[in-house]
């Protein structure tokens, strides 16, 4: 399976400002020597060697990702503002001709996980078909409420694609053409669910908006079957450890706890996700650096997962 991240931010979209772009240019130029800008090739090398926070951006769109199975089935997980760009890409193919089909898995219906739906082009094209899965029995009503006329000029029924809402039993599993999908309830205000997606012996986990506080960590083994031996986990790590203790019951976790969980359950790759809207790109560089330092101090050699941080456009091949 192949996973692509289209939105990695939490809470609210955070587009780059002109001041942020200017700062990146200024800092990059201060690092350049005359040789670095002597030719197009040297410029490319110079840019490639810059820190990620200077040569690009982690992204400002809220949570959404695309998963394509080996058989070509398309799953969309969460529908934050990153969904808009995904929809434009899908519309270049069958979805633009009304011949597309996909499954959508929703973790919950807080704004940052559904706000891309009104701008999802494939929903407007007759002939496309979507199955929308959620453990919340009133999921359709929640999505419809986002698009009542006082909030948005086009309601859900005016989006001509076929949209079937399917309620999942909580903490259950289903199979879609050989792909196993298990959901697991997570601690979050109003409730949220993680998803474990398995195909041909490979397991991918997406668990956004989850708070693993001391109470949850005391009973962490009840999450064992969900996390065990996963090949890759995209994990909500919105807060630093200090922030976490000042925001108990806000529904998010720090990277250190995500690392502890990944190591305990032998996760192969951990991807930090759901970045705080107050964090700029340099701060996210620091988040990754601090997480690696924590892992180096606390994890035995061979027992630590590969550690990455999510950015828009990241592709995970399993």
Q: What is the pLDDT of residues 102-137, one digit of tens each?
A: 999 999 999 999 999 999 999 999 999 999 999 999
Residue 242: pLDDT over 90: no
Mean pLDDT of the chain: 95
Please state at what angle helix 281-298 crosses helix 255-264, rounded to 10 degrees: 40
pLDDT value of residue 302: 65
pLDDT value of residue 299: 77
Q: What is the pLDDT of residues 25-46, one digit of tens each?
A: 999 999 999 999 999 999 999 9
Q: What is the pLDDT of residues 157-180, one digit of tens each?
A: 999 999 999 999 999 999 999 999
C-alpha 60 chain-centroid distance: 12
DSSP 206: E
CA distance 66 to 234: 13
Q: Where in the chain is CATH 3.60.15.10?
A: 2-14+57-317
With residue 43 as reference, give the H or E element that holds it.
helix 40-48
Q: What is the pTM of this model?
A: 0.95
**Which of 299, 309, 308 is CA-nearest to residue 261?**
299
How confident is the model over 208-219, as a mean pLDDT?
A: 90
Q: Supply 213's token pair.
A: 């506080």
| Architecture per CATH, 2-14+57-317 | 4-Layer Sandwich (3.60)
Residue 185: pLDDT over 80: yes
Residue 278: pLDDT over 90: yes
Q: Are 53 and 28 in contact (CB under 8 A)?
A: no
With residue 229 as reference, give the H or E element that holds it.
none
- What's the sign of the alpha-carbon dihedral 9, 12, 15, 18? negative
Q: Supply 61's token pair.
A: 């769109």
């Amino acid at each position: 399976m192949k996973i692509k991240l289209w939105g990695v931010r939490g809470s609210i979209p955070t587009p780059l400002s002109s001041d942020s772009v200017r700062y990146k240019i200024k800092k990059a130029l201060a690092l350049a020597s005359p040789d670095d800008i002597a030719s197009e090739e040297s410029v490319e090398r110079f840019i490639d060697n810059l820190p990620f926070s200077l040569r690009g951006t982690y992204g400002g769109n809220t949570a959404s990702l695309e998963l394509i199975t080996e058989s070509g089935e398309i799953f969309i997980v969460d529908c934050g503002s990153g969904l808009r760009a995904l929809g434009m890409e899908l519309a270049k193919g069958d979805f633009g001709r009304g011949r597309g089909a996909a499954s959508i898995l929703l973790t919950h219906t807080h704004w940052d996980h559904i706000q891309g739906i009104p701008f999802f082009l494939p929903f407007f094209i007759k002939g496309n078909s979507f199955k929308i899965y959620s453990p919340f029995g009133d999921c359709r009503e929640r999505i419809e409420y986002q698009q009542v006329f006082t909030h948005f000029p086009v309601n859900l029924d005016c989006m001509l694609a076929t949209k079937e809402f399917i309620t999942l039993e909580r903490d259950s599993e289903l199979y879609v053409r050989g792909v196993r999908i298990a959901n697991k309830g997570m601690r979050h205000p109003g409730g949220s669910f993680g998803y474990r997606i398995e195909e041909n012996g490979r397991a991918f986990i997406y668990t956004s908006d989850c708070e693993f506080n001391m109470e949850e960590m005391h009973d962490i083994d009840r999450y064992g079957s969900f996390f065990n031996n996963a090949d890759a986990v995209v994990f909500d790590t919105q807060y630093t450890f200090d922030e976490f203790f000042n925001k108990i019951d806000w529904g998010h976790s720090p990277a250190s706890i995500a690392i502890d969980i990944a190591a305990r359950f032998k996760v192969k790759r951990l991807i930090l996700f759901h970045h705080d809207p107050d964090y700029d790109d340099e701060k996210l560089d620091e988040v990754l650096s601090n997480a690696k330092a924590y892992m180096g101090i606390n994890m035995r050699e061979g027992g630590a997962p590969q550690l990455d941080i999510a950015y828009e456009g990241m592709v995970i091949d399993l």
